[in-house]
A and B are shown apart, each in its own frame.
Chain A
Amino acid sequence: MASKLSTRKDLFPGALELMVLQTLKRKPLHGYALVRAIQASSRDLLQIEEGSLYPALQRMLKEGWVNARWTTSDTGRRVRAYEVTLKGLKHLSGERERLGQMFEGVRLVLAMVEP
Chain B
Amino acid sequence: VNPFERLRGRRNVDRDLADELGAHLDVRIEELVGAGLPLEDARQQARRELGNETLLIERGRDVWRFAMIEDAWQDVRYAWRQLVRAPGFTAVAVITFALGIGATTAIFTAVYAVVLQPFPFHEPDRVVAVGEQFVTGSLSAVSPGNFEDWRTHAKTFSDLGARRFVSVNVSSGTTPERLVGVAVTASYFSVFRIPAVLGRTITADENRAGRERVVVLSDRLWRRVFGGIPAVLGTTIRMDGHPYTVIGVMPPQFDRLGGPEEFWIPVVFTPEAIASHDGHSMYVVGRLAPGISTEQAAADLSIIFHRMKEQLPANTEVRQGIVNEFAAEVVGGSRERLLVLFGAVALVLLIACGNVAHLLLARGRLRSHEVALRASLGASRPRLIRQFLSESAVLAVAGGTLGVGAAYVAIPALLAIAPEAIGAIPRLDQTTVNGHVLLFALAAIVMSALLTGIVPALRASRLDLRTSLSDGARTLAGAKDTLRSGLVAGEVAVVIVLLAGAGVLIRSALYLQSVEPGFDGTSVLTARISLPEVGYEEPARVERAFRGLVERISQHPAVDVAAVSSSVPMTPGTNHNGLVPEGKAFDPSNFVLGRLGVITENYFRTFRIPLVAGRLFSVEDYREAPRVMILSRTAAQQLFPNENAVGQRVACCESGPDGAPLLKLVVGIVGDVRSNGPHAEPPADFYLPIQQAPAYTWSWFQRTLTVVVRGKTEGTGILTEALREAVRDIDPTVPVHGVATMQQRLQATLAENRFNLVLMLLLGSIGLLLSAVGIYGVIACFVAQRRHELAVRMALGASPADVVRTVVTHGMRPVWLGAVIGLTAAVALSQTLASSVYGVTPRDPVTLVAVVAVLIVVAILANLLPARAATRVNLAGLLAG
Using a CB–CB distance below 8 Å, which chain A residues touch chain B?
Answer: 30-33, 49-51, 54-55, 58-59, 61-62, 64, 67-68, 73, 75, 77-80, 85
Contact = CB atoms under 8 A, between A and B. Distances in A.
B1 A64 contact: yes
A78 B50 contact: no
A23 to B, nearest CB: 16
24 contacts: A30-B23, A31-B24, A32-B23, A32-B24, A32-B27, A32-B28, A50-B21, A50-B49, A50-B51, A54-B21, A55-B63, A58-B59, A58-B61, A58-B64, A67-B1, A68-B16, A73-B27, A77-B26, A77-B27, A77-B30, A78-B23, A79-B20, A79-B27, A80-B20
A51 B412 CA distance: 60
Given A51-B56, A85-B1, 6 more contacts: A30-B23, A31-B23, A58-B64, A75-B27, A77-B30, A80-B16
B65 to A, nearest CB: 10
B60 interface: yes
Contacts of A30: 20, 23-24, 27
A59 B27 CA distance: 23
Contacts of B49: 50
B42 to A, nearest CB: 14
B19 interface: yes
Contacts of B24: 30-32, 50
Interface residues of B, number: 26
Interface of B: 1-2, 5, 13, 16-17, 19-21, 23-24, 26-28, 30, 49-51, 55-56, 59-64
Contacts of A55: 56, 59-60, 62-63
B64 A50 contact: no
A54 B23 contact: no
B710 to A, nearest CB: 90
Contacts of B20: 30-31, 54, 79-80
A44 to B, nearest CB: 16
Most chain B CB neighbours (cut-off 10 Å) among A49, A61, A68, A73: A61
Given A32-B28, A50-B49, A78-B23, A67 B60 contact: no
Contacts of B23: 30-32, 77-80
B18 to A, nearest CB: 11
Contact of B56 (A54, A59, A78): A54
Nearest to A75: B30
B64 A62 contact: yes
Nearest to B1: A64
Contacts of B30: 75, 77
A23 B148 CA distance: 90
B50 A50 contact: yes
A54 B56 CA distance: 7
Contacts of A62: 63-64
A77 B17 CA distance: 16
**Which 4 A-B pairs rank lowest in CB-CB distance, beginning with the nearest?**
A58-B63, A64-B1, A58-B60, A32-B27
Contacts of B55: 51
A68 B8 CA distance: 14
Contacts of B50: 50
A33 B30 CA distance: 13
A77 B24 CA distance: 10
Contacts of A61: 5
A55 B57 CA distance: 8
Contacts of A78: 23
Contacts of B13: 58
